[in-house]
Amino acid sequence: MIPAQFDYLAPTSVEEAVAALGEHGDDAKILAGGQSLLPVLRMRLNAPEVVIDLGRIESLRGVREEGDVLVIGAMTQHSVVASDPLVEEHALLIHKAVQHLADAQIRHRGTFGGALAHADPAGDMGAPALALGAEFVIAGPGGTRTVAADDFFVDLFETAIGEDEILTEIRVPKHTGWGAHYEKFVRVAHQWPIVAVAAAVRTSGGTIEEARVGLTNMGSTPLRARGVEAALAGQPATDEAVREAASGAAEGTNPPSDLNGDADYRRHLAGVLTRRAVLAAAGA
Ligand X SMILES: Cc1cc2nc3c(=O)[nH]c(=O)nc-3n(C[C@H](O)[C@H](O)[C@H](O)COP(=O)(O)OP(=O)(O)OC[C@H]3O[C@@H](n4cnc5c(N)ncnc54)[C@H](O)[C@@H]3O)c2cc1C
Contacts with ligand X by CB under 6 A lie at 29-37, 39, 54, 74, 101-102, 106, 110-111, 113-115, 117-118, 123-125, 161, 166-167, 191-192
Q: Mapping DSSP to helix (H, G, I), strand (E, B) and coil, where does residue 7 land?
A: strand
Least spacing, CB of residue 236 vs ligand X, in Å: 33
> Judged by CB, which is closer to ligand X: 39, or 177?
39
257: Cβ contacts below 8 Å, ≥ 6 apart: 263, 266
Q: Which is nearer to ligand X, 33 or 271 (CB)?
A: 33
Task: Give the Cα separation of 30 and 22 in Å (integer).
Answer: 12
Q: Are 119 and 112 in contact (CB under 8 A)?
A: no
Taking the complex as a whole, the smallest distance from the CB of residue 231 to ligand X amounts, in Å, to 28
Nearest 5°: phi and psi at 253? -95, 165
218's CB contacts (< 8 A; 6+ apart) are: 195, 250, 253, 254, 255, 266, 270
Cβ proximity to ligand X: between 167 and 228 the closer is 167
Minimum gap (Å) between residue 118 Cβ and ligand X = 4
By beta-carbon proximity to ligand X, the closer residue of 125 and 198 is 125
Measure the CA–CA gap between 168 and 59, rounded to whole angstroms: 9
3-class DSSP state for residue 139? strand
Distance, CA of 125 to CA of 136 (rounded, Å): 13
Interatomic CA distance for residues 16 and 28, integer angstroms = 14
Choose between 76 and 235: whose C-beta lies nearer to ligand X.
Answer: 76
Taking the complex as a whole, how short is the minimal distance between the CB of residue 68 and ligand X, in angstroms?
24
Containing 244, the helix (H) or strand (E) segment is helix 239-246
**Shortest distance in whole angstroms from residue 37 CB to ligand X:** 4
- 39 Cβ contact partners less than 8 Å away, ≥ 6 residues apart: none
Least separation in angstroms between residue 182's CB and ligand X is: 11
Q: From CA 161, how far away is CA 152, in angstroms rounded?
A: 8
Q: How far is CA 150 from the centre of its chain?
A: 12
Could you tell me the smallest distance in angstroms from the CB atom of residue 239 to ligand X?
Answer: 29
Nearer to ligand X, 125 or 132 (CB): 125
